[in-house]
Homo-oligomer: A and B are copies of this chain.
Amino acid sequence: MLNNILFYSLEKAIKRYRRFAQANIDRAGIAITIDQWLVLHVILENDDLTQAEIGERVFKDQASVARIIALLTGRDLLAAVPLPHDGRRTQMRVTAEGQRVLDAVQPIVLSNRETALRGLSDADLTTLRVLLERIYTNCTSPPQAPE
């Protein structure tokens, strides 16, 4: 039964956290989604990643990243500069407005995390992380034998 309810607790916690975090951003009057913020943040730190590489860092697939980038570009938080040496790609640049949004969201994200983790010790966090990573790796190589 523990086994049974664990994934409920997981879903429950993550969904609640996401709703909570988004609500706090909304309440601050900042028009960006958490997912868009994540992508923008990654691009700020490394502007020469492919969409697939960005996706790896935020656990999204390339298609999702492409659409998020399109939205960020449409809102002028991100600008695409063609790369001369590779016609398939463009270099992403966070615009001044994008930087403003990042700066505005940053303290909210920190506060969200702090609130969400209130009462959890460092040891708790480590335990949690280790167990979650274990679940991740357990799900990574499919169990079925070669056919």
> A: which residues have CB within 8 A of B?
2-17, 19-21, 23-24, 27, 59, 111, 113-120, 122, 124-129, 131-136, 138-140, 142-144
Contacts and interface: CB of A to CB of B under 8 A. Distances in A.
B3 A113 contact: yes
Contacts of A139: 13, 16-17, 19-21, 115-116
Contacts of A12: 59, 132-133, 136
Contact of A11 (B20, B27, B59, B140): B59
B119 A138 contact: yes
A136 B2 contact: no
Main secondary structure on chain A at its contact with chain B? helix
Given A7-B17, A14-B14, A133-B9, A138 B125 contact: no
Contact of A131 (B127, B133, B134): B127
3 closest A-B pairs (Cβ-Cβ)?
A20-B139, A13-B132, A9-B132
B14 A142 contact: no
Contact of A9 (B3, B116, B118, B136): B136
A116 to B, nearest CB: 5
A13 B133 contact: yes
A26 to B, nearest CB: 12
Contacts of A115: 138-139, 143
